[in-house]
Amino acid sequence: MTILVTGGAGFIGTHLTKRLLDEGHIVLAVDNFCSNYDPELKRRNVANFKNQPGYYLFEGDIRESHFLHLLFGTYPVDAVIHLAGLAGVRPSLQKPAAYFDTNVTGTVTLLQTMQDFKVDKMVFASSSSVYGERNETPFRESDLIEGLASPYAISKRTGEMVIQNAHQLYGLNAYCLRFFTVYGPNQRPDMAISSFIRRLFAGERIQLFGTGQSVRDYTYVNDIVAGIVRAVERVSGFEIINLGSGRPIALIDLVRHLEYFTGRKARIEYRPDQLGDVSRTFADLSKAAQLLGYQPRVLLEEGLQRMVNGFQAEQTFLLEEK
């Protein structure tokens, strides 16, 4: 298949690109290299694919209809995996308009272009944050969505809704995948695990918000990628599907694991609860298993060990380069 991957230079986008190329697909990666974090990291991500057969990179913005029309008019796209967006709960409180612009207007512009070029398959990166604050676990796709806690969560839920609308009106086949906190090598530097590993090795303080008892369902990026690939192969009709690990743990326990794997003692600074954060996430995975044959394989201990190893290898490489 020829698959257009938006957000192709990002954390999940580059892991996905590798898998798609390995499986013989053609990847058209689109990214605007925006500065939500250091764009140099994104350039390093895509440098790995330069000269790889079947890989094409386009620097451009999904909010620009002219750019998308040129792209879709030139290449025969079979399906779109739509990962481009502004990610993260906390920064969305500072820049809500930018989040809606990219995550909603960008998605609508992309949908309009797909309709113009009769491309009828889409997989969308939604988020566990759409579940908002709730006590009942695990979170099921059939749960009533109310009490969304951040502009980011609202922008992702709106993304699901405009995609569902395109399904109803124009017959788009689309799966909206609700990812539960994704981690792995090259994770976005603003996310907890990568930032904690960096700080542990640098001997810097780690800030924990609340009591450290907030609970997250951390999912290794290879498991997420396997779910995305299955989704694009099977997408038919409209579905919302959780992709998680189904094994949530408390933040403080995560830090204890990282202390073990880095061999460093954490200097913890407790801070008040962050606005917009929810106290727990926990994925019910039965729908993913049924529709996608999804089965998370990487245990947290194994995933964290791989991330720490990746971080150390990177540091050695950078030192040798100097």
Question: Residues with catalytic annotation?
Answer: 152
Could you tell me whether strands 206-209 and 215-216 are parallel, antiparallel, or unpaired per DSSP bridges? unpaired
The backbone region for 186, taken as left when phi is positive above 0, alpha when psi lies in -120 to 50, beta otherwise, is left
Residue with Cβ nearer ligand NAD (64 or 204): 64
In the complex, minimum distance from the CB of residue 71 to ligand NAD, in angstroms, rounded to a whole number:
11
Residue with CB nearest ligand NAD? 10
Residues in the chain: 322
d(CA 248, CA 255) in angstroms, rounded, equals 14
Residues 179 and 217 sit within 8 Å (Cβ to Cβ): no
Residue with Cβ nearer ligand NAD (84 or 255): 84
Residue with Cβ nearer ligand NAD (164 or 264): 164
In the complex, minimum distance from the CB of residue 129 to ligand NAD, in angstroms, rounded to a whole number:
7
Residue with Cβ nearer ligand NAD (153 or 166): 153
In the complex, minimum distance from the CB of residue 36 to ligand NAD, in angstroms, rounded to a whole number:
6
In the complex, minimum distance from the CB of residue 265 to ligand NAD, in angstroms, rounded to a whole number:
27
Residue with Cβ nearer ligand NAD (181 or 245): 181
Write out the residues near ligand NAD by the rule CB under 6 A: 6-7, 9-13, 30-34, 36, 42, 61-63, 83-87, 102, 106, 125, 127, 179, 181-182, 188
Is residue 41 classed as helix, strand or coil in its secondary structure?
A: helix
d(CA 41, CA 37) in angstroms, rounded, equals 8
The backbone region for 118, taken as left when phi is positive above 0, alpha when psi lies in -120 to 50, beta otherwise, is left
Is residue 129 classed as helix, strand or coil in its secondary structure?
A: helix
Q: How does DSSP assign 197-241, residue by residue?
A: HHHHHHT--EEEETTS--EE--EEHHHHHHHHHHHHHH--SEEEE
d(CA 238, CA 177) in angstroms, rounded, equals 11
In the complex, minimum distance from the CB of residue 174 to ligand NAD, in angstroms, rounded to a whole number:
15
Which residues lie across from 249 on neighbouring strands? 216
Residue with Cβ nearer ligand NAD (26 or 244): 244
In the complex, minimum distance from the CB of residue 95 to ligand NAD, in angstroms, rounded to a whole number:
12
What φ, ψ does residue 64 adopt, rounded to 5°? -100, 105
46-70 b/e (C-beta count within 10 Å ≥ 16 → b):
beebeeeeebbbbebbbbeeebbee
